[in-house]
Chain A
Amino acid sequence: MPEYVAFWGCYIPARMPNIEAASRKVFEVLGVSIEELEGASCCPEPVISKLVARKLWTALAARNIALAEAKGKDIMTLCNGCYETLFEVNHMLKEDAELRNEVNQVLSGIGKKVEGKIEVKHVVEVLGEDIGIEKLKEYVKRPLRSLNVAVHYGCHLFRSAKPDDEDVWKKPRLLEELIRVTEANLVEYGVERLCCGYPARQANVEFSLKNRLHVKLKNMRESNADCIVLACPACYIQFELGQTELRRYVKETFRIPVLHIMELLALSFGISPDEIGIKLHRIPVKNVLEKVKI
């Protein structure tokens, strides 16, 4: 079975152990071997640090890549932000020899080097391509047929090395396919591609909630979504915390549960909600569990 170095990022281990627990259970069921990346730092995050300190952003990401190269295994991320940073830096270092030399000059001070030997994959690629959609269907013990799911792709899931539509949409389509594996119904709500507003909240929380999150939530509710499924912990925070924060700015109240794709898969694989810490959600997932009769 495939083997990867897991890059958990910062949010999942430190704020959302439920996602980590669900992921580890799913990998265990699938027989996917995951190794820890000892000594990993923050990826670092791909918006502020990339803009404010591009040299540091590149060098720290390169160090994480060098750690994985030393293990000879591809990196798997469960966060769109980590994916963006590690994928982009890995791609740049492979393509741009001059940059690679510059970065290796910095890394030489700590005895490390990037050679461009590994790939960086998002978990939706690992599951949808390396394992395969048809194979995954064999593990579904508890189909979530009655569940209406609104998918939120997350902007960084569109990161691609090639500027063609097919490649840009590959991972978002894989996320949809993974939701279909669970036999849940994907509802269309019209603004799937819109950003959740997480990056904008760094500058203006009100704008981020009213002009991004609220727009998405209204459309999701109108489409009768029982829950939101995504593949990014930053978007997860924006949807979970943001629904509470939004009450300060709008008269409507939203309580739509938010699940990471790994939690949805875990539930469909028959894993107990308690084992994956489903009670840790800020917005209770009770209605989801009731609807799928768990």
Chain B
Amino acid sequence: MISVEEIISKLKEQFGDKFIRYYKKRDKRYFANVEKDAVKSMVKFLIDNFDARFITISCVDNGTDFEMVYHIDVGGGNVLSLRTIVKKEESSIDSIAEFLPAAQWIEREISDLFGVKFEGHPDPRRLLLPFELPEGVHPLRKPMEGVIPKDQRPSVEMLITKGQPLEIAPPLARRREELKLSSQLPTTAVVEDALKEVHEIVKETGFDKEAGYDWEKKRLRYK
């Protein structure tokens, strides 16, 4: 029988960068972090090529994202769980039910309870919630909230965006000049290369992900 390590090696070979990393938590329990857009193909690859059996999907709402965990029995009592992140702003992922009928109900259940849409699901009707419940009500879905306390969010956004929680605004710059001070100090707020270094550190320490910072919009993903 093929070992789990060999299966994982085949997955890595087949999916390259889409397979991020794997770790063994304890005997017979393997976890792999994978990219969202490759989950469907990975599950299919496991089912088609190995003696694998789909068990179920777990969904965890961590505030800003959902973590979807696809549990697959890969033989010999070993369970490989593929973990991927679904951003709450998107709240959708490809359905695996089109080739795995056993996933139909669990995807409908997650859809009901968390409001995650499974694209391509053959029968996406409600499963657990009463039909009279208004659209958009999902009992286990938490509000869009990250770890930064409300009052601190503007400062944290500024800290990541500019390396400083406060800016020297034009009226204050004028007052500084009246006091014969330079209008700005040579901080990360004005020295671009220095700001790039701060951004590198923010990424390297993983604070951008932890705080839920959107680099394109230059703000936190929650208000």
Residues of A within 8 A of B (CB): 8, 10-11, 13-15, 17-18, 20-21, 24, 36-42, 44-45, 48-49, 52-53, 55-56, 59-60, 63, 106-107, 109-110, 112, 202-203, 275-277, 280
Contacts and interface: CB of A to CB of B under 8 A. Distances in A.
A10 B207 CA distance: 20
A55 B205 contact: yes
Given A41-B164, A277-B179, 8 more contacts: A14-B166, A20-B181, A39-B188, A48-B152, A53-B210, A63-B201, A106-B201, A203-B151
B133 interface: no
16 contacts: A10-B164, A17-B175, A20-B179, A36-B185, A39-B188, A39-B197, A40-B185, A41-B188, A42-B165, A45-B165, A48-B152, A48-B155, A56-B205, A106-B204, A106-B205, A275-B179
A52 B164 contact: no
A276 B180 CA distance: 10
B137 interface: no
Given A59-B201, A106-B205, A40 B175 contact: no
A21 B181 contact: yes
Contacts, number: 112
A63 B147 contact: no
Interface string B202-223: 1011110011000000000000
The 10 tightest CB contacts between A and B, nearest first, are: A39-B194, A41-B163, A14-B166, A110-B197, A56-B207, A21-B179, A38-B186, A55-B205, A56-B205, A41-B188
B47 interface: no
B198 A41 contact: yes
A148 to B, nearest CB: 28
Contacts of A49: 156, 159
